[in-house]
Structure 1
Amino acid sequence: MNAGAVMQALVGGESGGYRLADDIPIPAPKPGTMLCRVHAVALSPYDAKIVDYSNTPDAVGGCDFAGVVVEVGEGVTRFKTGDRILAVTFGLSASDKSAGAFAEYALATEDLSCRVPDELSLTQASSMGLGIATAGLALFQAPGLQLATKLVPKEESDAKVFVLVSGGATGTGTMATQLLKGAGYIPIVTCSPSNNALCESYGAVACFDYNSPTCGADIREYTDNSLTSVFDCVTDATTMKMCYEAIGSSGGKYVALEAIATTIKYTRRDVAADWLMAPTILGTPVELPGAYGRPSTPEHRRFGTDLFLLAEKWIQKGEIKHHPLEIREGGLARIPTYVNDLRVGNVRAKRQVVPLIC
């Protein structure tokens, strides 16, 4: 790539929100990274929350993308020019304004990327990276459920261990269900009854209606009072209360994707509750204000390396698949509209994907 070359990208606006820019420098690959021509991006609630809560003017936004490697940085051995990959990054970063997926070119981190098989389109693959990272951390690393020291299949004798995924029809929920199944756990989920078949297709063995006033009690009965692990992808006071009711009398762990309600957190002293920030998988500090900030977590980066290597194998074998997609046209310029659809709750049980190359 020629030095000084520029690209079109969606960046943080000076007065908030996103703005489309035509003069953003194409980033040079750093050690351990690859420069990719972005073919498609996927949108997530993170893209709405970060631009509202901690916007960084002129920083490239976006997390989830897939594309083709055009240049490799120093030390990269897994990938070469021309490889089709999916990757996760975290846009609107104050510490690195070039990080981000909403652009014609983006940097992929070698050990947080997967090779895309020929039978999977880059549009489909663009929706998988963030879900892998988030669900993996939530299930297998602190402050998550820490279900195993390594993400490997469990022995058959240990197989009947239930794990509840609250919000099983979300993009993170379907990925968590698949990872749990692959690691030998028994995933059960909460969802709307209309999404039961969807959740079952990803490996859920039982689905419970989160609107039912007896949802927590029903789960507790189904699991014979043995449930000890809950991953809450919804994270509001109502779902947290329901999850607490579902956990068996011996207590357990609860992990969420948002700051949790302390009024409920301490209603059960036998439940250890916490929440996580997916960007910790980079291993570097999460430089966000207040409770959203995190120190450096090199153990998360080491875990991420193993996680994405395993995920690549599972993707190649067809053992994990992408969430149902809604293809949105219009390229980078239309992404702010689609992000607002997420913000106001107009997107349910699907991931919005925006192709940038037809």
Structure 2
Amino acid sequence: MKAIVGGDSGGYSLAENVDVPRPKPGTMLCRVHAVALNPVDHKIIDFSSVPGAVGGCDFAGTVVQLGEGVKRFKTGDRVLGVTFGLNPADKTAGAFAEYVLAIEDLSCHVPEALSFTQACSMGLAIATAGLALFQAPGLQLREPHLQPVERDSDVFVLVSGGATATGTMAIQLLRFAGYRPIVTCSPTNNGLCESYGAEACFDYNSPTCAADIREHTDNTLAHVMDCVTDAATMKMCYEAIGSSGGSYIALEPTTTTVKYTRRDIRADWLMAHSILGVPLELRGAFGRPSTPEHRKFGAHWFPLVEKLLQEGKITNHPLEVREGGIAKMPHIVEELRTGSVRAKKLVVPLVVV
């Protein structure tokens, strides 16, 4: 098959004779119809390139072969899923390929109302928002449809970077879990965030941003998910958290110059790849052993979110479709690296239907 792999001298390159992976127990071989690009796809190639390993995390496609023990899916099903691109421990695992192995309990059936280009953009956001909101700080869920939790109806949760793909997913999930999502974003994206369910939007460039959030939340904010994670944003989030303290979960390594300025805040950061339950064999702070509790959470989380998808209660982030198929993807990753794409997620169809 054709695939986009880590190049021998860095970057990505097109490989045209990669072995099609064989289904393992609990996995499904899928024909990839569309893939989405995420910031991690260009960051990981700089930090931890693995020559010959298939890149990419987000995909949607159709099941063509079942591994042993798979029961939720059958051949021909439309699925979306998440995987670990440029995985040193499994070079075939990435999504930027004509075929990929989907993990049964980290996949969702794609409803007919969603196209493959829409569906491919959701897997990593579902995993990241789920871990950051409902596993790491322990916000409460109610099954089976994330109905509002009455006793939490006055609990605010701040999503810093609400106009990101993970941000808009987090807003939607928080609403269905009964929380009151508020966000920071550029004022030009207020309407976008509000359309996904944000109760209030705050300008992260405003010198009074943290004070404004404190006033809006009556000094009660205790939960923050930071999709931006730089020193200035972390400082703002810390200042927005109420005087009783709380939790701060970031999607990048946190800075110690801010982390220990308040002892009443539990600060941590995560990599969504840990939801796969495999060790992350990466350098420095990004490397970590397997996290069984994240894998257990994922097996519970994806089937739960699938119910919301089937009922049309959650939807994808705004998209920007790039044509040219798999051969154009190294160029598209470079475009993402420049930071010129904002408030949209890049997706690439691989199969014309």
Alignment TM-score, normalising by the size of structure 1: 0.96
Amino acid aligned to 1:169? A
> What are the ranges of 5 or more consecutive residues in structure 2 without an aligned counterpart?
none
1:145 is the counterpart of 2:137: yes
Give the whole-Å Cα distance in 1 for the aligned partners of 2:188 and 2:126: 25
- Whether the 8 Å contact between 2:142 and 2:149 is mirrored in structure 1 is no
Aligned partner (choices 191, 208, 214) of residue 220 of structure 1: 214
- Whether the 8 Å contact between 2:142 and 2:177 is mirrored in structure 1 is no
Amino acid aligned to 1:249? S
Report what 1:325 is aligned to.
Answer: 319
Report what 2:190 is aligned to.
Answer: 196
Report what 1:25 is aligned to.
Answer: 19
- Tell me the SS of whatever aligns to 2:295: helix
Shift of 1:157: 3.0
Report what 2:152 is aligned to.
Answer: 158
Amino acid aligned to 2:339? G
Give the whole-Å Cα distance in 1 for the aligned partners of 2:6 and 2:140: 38
Shift of 1:149: 6.7
> What are the ranges of 5 or more consecutive residues in structure 1 without an aligned counterpart?
1-6
Amino acid aligned to 1:82? G
Q: 5 Å matches for 1:66-85?
A: 66-85=60-79
Q: 5 Å matches for 1:249-268?
A: 249-268=243-262
Report what 1:311 is aligned to.
Answer: 305
Amino acid aligned to 1:102? F
Shift of 1:145: 2.0
Q: 5 Å matches for 1:168-183?
A: 168-183=162-177
After superposition, the C-alpha distances for 1:265-286 in whole angstroms (9 at most, x for unaligned) are 1111111111001111011111
- Whether the 8 Å contact between 2:42 and 2:333 is mirrored in structure 1 is yes
Report what 1:4 is aligned to.
Answer: none
Shift of 1:305: 1.2
Amino acid aligned to 2:193? C
Alignment TM-score, normalising by the size of structure 2: 0.97
Shift of 1:154: 4.7
Aligned partner (choices 107, 120, 123) of residue 126 of structure 1: 120
1:86 is the counterpart of 2:80: yes
Report what 2:129 is aligned to.
Answer: 135
Report what 1:40 is aligned to.
Answer: 34
Give the whole-Å Cα distance in 2 for the aligned partners of 1:139 and 1:106: 28
After superposition, the C-alpha distances for 1:236-256 in whole angstroms (9 at most, x for unaligned) are 011101101100001111010
Aligned partner (choices 111, 114, 118) of residue 117 of structure 1: 111
Give the whole-Å Cα distance in 1 for the aligned partners of 2:302 and 2:268: 24
Report what 2:199 is aligned to.
Answer: 205
Give the whole-Å Cα distance in 2 for the aligned partners of 1:127 and 1:74: 27
Give the whole-Å Cα distance in 1 for the aligned partners of 2:210 and 2:334: 32
Shift of 1:67: 0.2
Amino acid aligned to 2:194? E
After superposition, the C-alpha distances for 1:157-212 in whole angstroms (9 at most, x for unaligned) are 32110000000000000011111111111000000111001001111000001110
Shift of 1:155: 2.8
Q: Which runs of 4+ in 1 moved over 4 A?
A: 149-152
Question: What is the root-mean-square deviation of aligned Cα atoms in Å?
Answer: 1.1
- Whether the 8 Å contact between 2:280 and 2:290 is mirrored in structure 1 is yes
Give the whole-Å Cα distance in 2 for the aligned partners of 1:195 and 1:85: 30
After superposition, the C-alpha distances for 1:96-143 in whole angstroms (9 at most, x for unaligned) are 0110100011110000000001111111100000000001000111xx
Give the whole-Å Cα distance in 2 for the aligned partners of 1:83 and 1:158: 37
Shift of 1:290: 0.9
Report what 1:106 is aligned to.
Answer: 100
Shift of 1:150: 6.4
Shift of 1:64: 0.2
- Whether the 8 Å contact between 1:140 and 1:150 is mirrored in structure 2 is no
Aligned partner (choices 266, 289, 295) of residue 272 of structure 1: 266
Shift of 1:334: 1.4
Figure out how many residues of one structure are paired with residues of the other and give that number. 350
Give the whole-Å Cα distance in 1 for the aligned partners of 2:161 and 2:153: 23
Report what 1:231 is aligned to.
Answer: 225
- Whether the 8 Å contact between 1:145 and 1:231 is mirrored in structure 2 is no
- Tell me the SS of whatever aligns to 2:266: strand
Report what 1:352 is aligned to.
Answer: 346
- Tell me the SS of whatever aligns to 2:18: strand
Give the whole-Å Cα distance in 2 for the aligned partners of 1:155 and 1:193: 30
Identity %: 70
Give the whole-Å Cα distance in 1 for the aligned partners of 2:126 and 2:329: 22
- Whether the 8 Å contact between 1:145 and 1:230 is mirrored in structure 2 is no
- Tell me the SS of whatever aligns to 1:69: strand
- Whether the 8 Å contact between 2:281 and 2:288 is mirrored in structure 1 is yes
Shift of 1:153: 3.6
Give the whole-Å Cα distance in 2 for the aligned partners of 1:238 and 1:45: 19
